[in-house]
Amino acid sequence: MKLNKLALGVCTLCAAITTLPANAHHSIAGEFDQTVTFELSGTLTSFDWANPHLWYYLDVVSESGAVEQWQCTTGINPNRLLRAGWKKEDLVIGSKVVLSNANPARDDSHTCFTPGIALEDGTEIFSGRRER
């Protein structure tokens, strides 16, 4: 009888542990090469204001004149942006934007990580660094 109660207790504990949400997080360094930085300018075509990180999409004109579609993340979640005073409406589709200190994806795709995004005139948007 004691063995059955022990087995039941162990099974219950295992079930409880496996249903807890995972707090795992991927490494920016694993996906992006932080030893390389570059600047990227383009036109904002869309963005995903969603967890876990904000992603935005740009049309960038390459040196050859071809339009390249880029996807970039700030690594900042929407809740943090809201607490800092930012709103989705602060970034307008069609805006010309500049990404400084961008890190390229390790898979050589048109994907990058950047700590922030700025308008052409230098106005910082979604940097997450300071309160507005």
Report the 3 state secondary structure along 89-101: HHCCCCCEEEEEE
Strand partners, 104: 112
Homologous superfamily in CATH for domain 33-125: Nucleic acid-binding proteins (2.40.50.140)
Query: How confident is the model over 87-127, as pLDDT tens digits?
Result: 888 889 999 999 988 999 999 899 999 987 888 888 887 66
pTM of the model: 0.72
Domain boundaries, the chain: 33-125
Instruction: Answer whether 111's CB lies under 8 Å from 68's CB.
Output: no
Structural contact between residues 22 and 32, judged by C-beta atoms closer than 8 angstroms: no
